């Protein structure tokens, strides 16, 4: 196996040349194969909102909130043509009766990172069949783009920071 400490130096170089959307997706994919655990957001365990909050945290935004809060306060822009994801941070939100209950970040053309089932690890899934399942079960579906200024505002508020329900791995990363 290669020397992972040496690889880390190259990963830092790569991050320095990436834009915010690419950095967001870079940290999203660190969650692949994590176990679904409600209230977690680290590379071993996460829930659906953690698939959005963990990358934002890694980018310096101290945010830990629900899918509904992400939808109503941070991802405030309708995405329009979400197939054009390059340079954009997009997420798909699913809800019923005005309550958003699930979120998945878009990580590629027609691909999402999905943390939905305690019996399955976090996976890359094709967006179309997932949307189809939610449509068949009478969910509303919204594809929205992050509002970076709104995200920075929320990150400055203690109410929705990771300290509220601090994940031990996140605590360790900021020490």
Residues 90-114: tens digit of each pLDDT: 999 999 999 999 999 999 999 999 9
Residues 57-89: tens digit of each pLDDT: 999 998 989 999 999 999 999 888 877 888 899
Residue 12 half-sphere exposure, CB side, CA atoms within 13 Å? 6
Whether the Cβ atoms of residue 154 and residue 65 lie closer than 8 Å to each other: yes
Q: Is residue 141 part of a domain?
A: yes
Q: What is the pTM of this model?
A: 0.91
The secondary structure of 75-138 as a DSSP string is --EE-SSTT--TT--EEEEEEETTEEEEEEEEEETTEEEE---TTS--EEEEHHHHHHHHHHTT
- Work out how many domains the chain is built from and give that number: 1
The reported pLDDT for the residue numbered 5 is: 85
The reported pLDDT for the residue numbered 166 is: 61
Q: Is residue 49 part of a domain?
A: yes
Q: Is 69 helix (H, G, I), strand (E, B) or coil?
A: helix
Q: Is residue 173 part of a domain?
A: no
Q: Is residue 66 part of a domain?
A: yes
- Band of pLDDT at residue 175, cut at 50, 70 and 90: low
pLDDT above 80: residue 145: yes
Q: What are the distances in angstroms from CA 43 to CA 40, 47, 84, 168? A: 9, 11, 27, 12
Q: Is residue 140 part of a domain?
A: yes
Instruction: Find the CATH number of the domain harbouring 40.
Output: 3.90.1720.10
Instruction: Give the mean pLDDT of 150-162.
Output: 83
Whether the Cβ atoms of residue 141 and residue 121 lie closer than 8 Å to each other: no
Domain that holds residue 34: 4-166
Q: Is residue 74 part of a domain?
A: yes
Q: Is residue 174 part of a domain?
A: no
């Amino acid at each position: 196996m290669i020397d992972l400490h040496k690889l880390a130096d190259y990963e830092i170089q790569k991050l320095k040349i990436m834009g915010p959307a690419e950095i967001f997706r870079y940290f999203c994919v660190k969650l692949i194969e994590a176990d679904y655990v409600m209230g977690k957001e680290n590379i071993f365990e996460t829930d659906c909102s953690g698939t959005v909050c963990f990358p934002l945290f890694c980018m310096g935004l101290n945010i830990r909130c629900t899918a509904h809060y992400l939808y109503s306060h941070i991802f405030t822009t309708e995405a329009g043509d979400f197939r054009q994801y390059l340079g954009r941070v997009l997420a798909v939100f699913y809800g019923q009766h005005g309550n958003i209950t699930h979120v998945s970040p878009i990580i590629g053309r027609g691909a999402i990172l999905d943390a939905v089932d305690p019996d399955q690890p976090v996976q890359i899934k094709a967006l179309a069949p997932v949307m189809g399942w939610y449509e068949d079960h009478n969910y509303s579906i919204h594809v929205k783009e992050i509002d970076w200024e709104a995200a920075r505002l929320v990150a400055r508020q203690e109410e929705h920071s990771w300290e509220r329900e601090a994940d031990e791995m996140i605590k360790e990363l900021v020490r």
